[in-house]
Amino acid sequence: MNIRRLADHLNISIGTVSRALNNRPGVHPETLEKVLKAATELGYVANQSGRSLRRGATNTIGFVIETGHPAHQAGDQFFYVVLDAMNLYLAEQRYDLVILPCHSADDPVEFLSRVIARGIVDALVMTATRRVDHRIAQLAKSKLPFMTLGRSETPGNYSWIDLDFEGVARRSVQEAVKLGHRRIAVGLPDNDVALGYHYKAGYLKGLAEAGIPVDESLLIRVPTSELGGFSLGKQVAGMAGQPTALLLCSEVTAAGVYAAFAEMGIEAGRDISVVAFRENPLMRFLNPAPACFRLDLDALGTRLGETVLDLLSPDEEIGRRRGEIVPLTFVQGKSLQPPRNPA
């Protein structure tokens, strides 16, 4: 079923049918109704290729994920919830959302070249942003509008939304210090992902404010995974001058840390305080409950949708590229308690 057959069926021209279907002005109300009715009955939906070719736009937003990247194996439903809310918003604005998976054996930059050149989307949302991100340089050269979830230091004409990793780290230090902690360890990602740098910056700022000197041995880099968390827990608990608190920049590592502690007979809070990152359903099942930070995933998804569509606005002010930092709320938990021998 194409527009010609639909038009023939109605004995009118394809031009009128097209106008009717696209809500263009200047169609007789009666004709409009007839067209819409017939389209529904015959199950007509405009062919995307024809429309895109003609319009030079696809009305589709691409969400790029790297299926091999640890940020996406983070486990819980983070992306599902965010995507759901984002998709809902985009649908209201008559945009489609497709997820473009870049597999682990592919080069992310080449992958993007193809996406850009083939013109399958009008704008992109990038994830797993690195501090220095070649994909951003690549996109900046093209004319395809894009935004990133996560800041990068690579310049370019794009918008971004980032979680307040720096604020979370700083607040975590403050909460620990308030209870008397002075030897505070931190688990950081072992790759170039941007959030690691911001988290570290917040940690350092927090220490500086409290007048605590930095001990490099307390900055521990591990893979962002359960296993990484396990290793982190073992390392921290086995250190010569055992820290009294441990801060985490990822929720998946928390389970690993708890498991390592369990094996060693260490209890979070009582022996070593733990501040996790994002509150998630799994945390409900860690005992004692981890102190962590709450994030409205639904609002984040909607905001992503708004921001990416703003990129396409002809209005210069709306279309202006902008950055936005999403705050998280501290949630008290039994994993954070005064140290046994306050300094």
Partner DNA sequence: CTGTTAGCGCCTTCAT
Partner DNA sequence: ATGAAGGCGCTAACAG
Among 122, 164, 226, 251, binds a copy of itself (CB under 8 A): 226
Closer residue to a copy of itself, CB minimum distance, 62 or 206: 62
CA distance 200 to 219: 8
3 state DSSP class of 94: coil
Q: Is 19 in the site for DNA (CB under 7 A)?
A: yes
Pairing outcome for strands 329-331 and 291-294: antiparallel
Closer residue to a copy of itself, CB minimum distance, 43 or 241: 43
Phi, psi at 291, each rounded to 5°: -65, 140
**Least gap, CB of 59 to DNA (angstroms):** 9
Question: Which of DNA, a copy of itself, none lies near 16, with the C-beta cut-off 5 to 8 A by kind?
Answer: DNA
Q: Is 242 in the site for a copy of itself (CB under 8 A)?
A: no
The DSSP output letter for 216 is: G
Q: Is 54 in the site for DNA (CB under 7 A)?
A: yes
Reduced to 3 DSSP states, what percent helix, strand and coil does the chain have, rounded to the nearest 5? 45, 20, 35
How far lies 165's CA from each of 15, 109, 149, 332, in Å?
A: 53, 26, 13, 17
Element (H, E) at 185: strand 184-189
Among 38, 68, 219, 288, binds a copy of itself (CB under 8 A): 68
**Least gap, CB of 23 to a copy of itself (angstroms):** 17
**Least gap, CB of 315 to a copy of itself (angstroms):** 27
Give the residue from 198, 266, 190 showing the smallest Cα distance to 233: 266
CA distance 318 to 307: 9
Q: Is 117 in the site for a copy of itself (CB under 8 A)?
A: yes
How far lies 47's CA from each of 18, 44, 51, 54, 82, in Å?
A: 12, 9, 6, 11, 29
Q: Is-cis flag, bond preceding 288, omega within 30?
A: yes
End-to-end CA distance of the chain: 77
CA distance 139 to 142: 5
Give the residue from 243, 226, 256, 262 showing the smallest Cα distance to 173: 243
Closer residue to DNA, CB minimum distance, 25 or 281: 25
Pairing outcome for strands 329-331 and 146-149: unpaired
**Least gap, CB of 200 to DNA (angstroms):** 45
**Least gap, CB of 8 to DNA (angstroms):** 11
Q: Is 172 in the site for a copy of itself (CB under 8 A)?
A: no
Q: Which of these ranges, 4-12, 104-112, 163-171, 234-242, lies near DNA under the rule CB under 7 A?
A: 4-12
Site string for DNA, 21-40 (x = CB under 7 A): xx-xxxxxxxx---------
Q: Is 266 in the site for a copy of itself (CB under 8 A)?
A: no
Residues that bind a copy of itself (CB under 8 A): 1, 43-50, 52-53, 58, 67-68, 72-73, 75-77, 80-81, 83-84, 87-88, 91, 97-101, 103-106, 113-114, 116-120, 225-227, 230, 255-256, 258-259, 262, 281-282, 284-285, 287
Residues that bind DNA (CB under 7 A): 2-4, 11-16, 18-19, 21-22, 24-31, 46-47, 49-51, 53-56
